[in-house]
Amino acid sequence: MMELSDVSVAAGTFSLRGLSLRIETGEYAVLMGKTGIGKTTILETICGLRKLGGGKIRIAGVDVSGWSAADRNVGYVPQDLALFPTMTVGQHLEFALRFRKVPRRQRAIRVGEMAKTLQIESLLDRKVDGLSGGEAQRVALGRALTFSPSVLLLDEPLSALDAETRQNVQAILRQINRKTGVTVLHVTHSQGEAESLADRWFCLERVDGAARIQERS
């Protein structure tokens, strides 16, 4: 379960106040809203990259509002993917495991499992430069998932992909959600993505000058 209770956050002159949201364990939730309204800011606040101005964030029933990003057990795939050009695909997949001091043998097993799930086993020794958009997206997904987070945050994960690749990655996302039970919050502008993927569908809107997350039926 992931829950925002009366959350406020500021990013320069931009601010969001009084946001509340609840996603049950294992649900695939989609968040939509106009460009610039603050969807990415919400994701960055949940995973600890932005300082909370007020309210509480709970993950698996625990208040993590004051925790560091590394301690929140949240996987995050930003829109620009933020891959490291000097690292191989395999090094990306084991990045979070190394940080958490997982033993080498367990790292190798976990990286192999994730590469198989994401269909990138043949790419493990390649650098990320030169990968296709779909391959790079799957590498970023793998990096976010190898340490088995309880929550996965996705910022426009399909927007830069062609139609065929988008369908493939969309199927992988649904498979991962069903297989692992990870709770997903997926930001998109695409109603088609929301209709295909979402167990719950939310919209970030401004009502009377204030931001509000509304659930769509």
Question: What's the pLDDT tens digit per position in 16-35?
Answer: 999 999 999 999 999 999 99
Pairing status of strand 210-216 against strand 28-32? unpaired
**pLDDT tens, residue by residue, 170-194:** 999 999 999 999 999 999 999 999 9
Q: What letter does residue 20 receive in the DSSP assignment?
A: E
Structure tokens at 216: 């769509």
Helix (H) or strand (E) holding 91, with range, is helix 89-99
Domain residue extents for the chain? 1-72+185-217
User: Average pLDDT, stretch 62-73?
Assistant: 96
Separation CA 155–CA 158 (nearest Å): 9
Question: Are 3 and 21 a contacting pair, CB within 8 Å?
Answer: yes
* CATH entry 3.40.50.300 includes domain 1-72+185-217: yes
User: Average pLDDT, stretch 111-120?
Assistant: 96
Mean pLDDT across the chain: 95
Bridge partners (DSSP) of residue 88 are: 127
Which residues does 2 contact at the CB level (< 8 Å), separation at least 6? 21, 22, 23, 46, 57, 58, 59, 151, 183, 185
Distance, first Cα to last Cα, the chain: 20
Separation CA 171–CA 90 (nearest Å): 22
Q: What is the reported pTM? A: 0.96
